[in-house]
Structure 1
Amino acid sequence: MAAPMTAAQFAAKLRAEGVTVVEVDEWETHNRNQMGPWGPVNGVMIHHTVTKGSANTVKICTDGYSGLPGPLCHGVITKDGRVHLVGYGRANHAGLGDPDVLRAVADEAALPGDNEATVDGNRHFYGFECENLGDGNDPWPEAQLKAIEQVSAAICRHHGWSERSVIGHLEWQPGKVDPRGFTMAWMREKIAKRLGVKPQTTLPPKPVKPSVSLKKLRDAAETNPRAKGTPVTYPGVKPVEAALVNAGLLERVYSDGHFGSATLDAYARWQRRLGYSGTAADGVPGMTSLKKLGAKYGFDVVA
């Protein structure tokens, strides 16, 4: 636990680690501090963007989008390995996560499985969004992976943290899969070597996959679109929406735990992708289509 660096220190530490830094507009004062505190900080969080094109990615992470104002991180790591600083202070990148994970990061202990979303991560983590489609096929260039290693090591070096203070979004919030395409255990080994220390080899507990009840999910799909507002009637909607986002079928702004019309339409597109049509592709999940979505994007299905 530590006080955040100043913006000037942040940029200087990244450059000292060999990072190519691009300063975007008035990034030093672009933040969400009016929404809550920034700090004390406990670690670094890595994400993928589910976007294509460096300029487009930087713009989205700077400005945000409807329902989620920017900045969406502190730095955007594009495929060429450059780190675009888009904000500093509180940023909309981590959202709510597991208090046991935060405790483990603070203690630099083995990470438990993330099965709660009750603690404000935007307050406690530096955040980096990495340009990648997040489909498991989009490549991660060596320059980009090296930049992730460098920015993480630079922050850890400043605060006296080990590599265990660096986590992925998927290790923080249930239903998230980012970054997808490399493992955080592998990245932490690289960060440890850069820091000049022997990586800690104790294996963390195997992460617990979210479990989604088909019955409760179907109830949400059949009742939520007609409900006033955006009530969250079943928390299991969230990992399904996260999967639909990563499948490129749902805009991230609608991944809010409410199985509304946008989620219904997105799930119908998933059903059509699997070959269903007519009433079999009405957006209300069935066991086969839901199991296929869970198998691909990391959640289990129960009746």
Structure 2
Amino acid sequence: MQIVRTLPELRAALAGRGRPAFVPTMGNLHDGHIALVRQARPLGDVLVSSIFVNRLQFLPHEDFDSYPRTWDADCAKLEAAGCDIVFAPREGDLYPEPQTFKIQPDPALADILEGHFRPGFFTGVCTVVMKLFSAVFFASGGGTAVFGKKDYQQLMVIRRMVQQFALPVDIVAGNTERAADGLALSSRNGYLSPEQRAAAVQLSQALHALAQAASAPDAAPLAALEQQAMEQLAQQGWAPNYLTVRQRDDLQAPQGPAAPGTLVALGAARLGGTRLIDNLEF
């Protein structure tokens, strides 16, 4: 496995090796990341994963400085999963000057849900992903990138960006990996105390209950079901941002009855000092 730091090194490493399959990460890798890497393995001629904690997608009060960096363990996991190249730029390599040109995603998709509670988040995500795509796919003229469904809105935003800019990149979704009790795997799960970790599954349970209630033939109005789900989670000691049901294709609220297989329940809530997100398609 080759480790490269700069864009010229990456492009030299990729020259003549066909179409890449790419998995971008911020490191602190867990089994969910590795599942994406394994999924990507047969989708290209050379497998690339990036490790870069992107300052642009953190708000000033968020955990950029304390975000876990586990370089040696990450490299060992990637090598075991069959990764060919790890692109691990330093901040000055990816942003050699202030990044004043940025990607502004469609507010209808990016300023709701996560974008409402984390203003500017998706601008930072889109900007770094566009730059990473430029670096990884420059020599080949295109390839495949794999993103997890656990960050559902992010997946939707990236897909829309690729579509609107006609980028030669196929976006493939990877299913959310879960612990035995149903908790979605996340790098931020490591912030939880043992007591909080035991309680963390309550978020996915709340989404299951919300989806089941919304699917009932005699379902109450959706707004009432969402409010009830928020209140019940708050009673368990959480500080919820949202628990909601949306259309999968545009993340807007459904207008009237929806066909099975077209909706997704999404939630974000803080447990102690840790903010967790999850979703459930139904």
TM-score between both structures, scaled by the size of structure 2: 0.38
More strand by share: 2
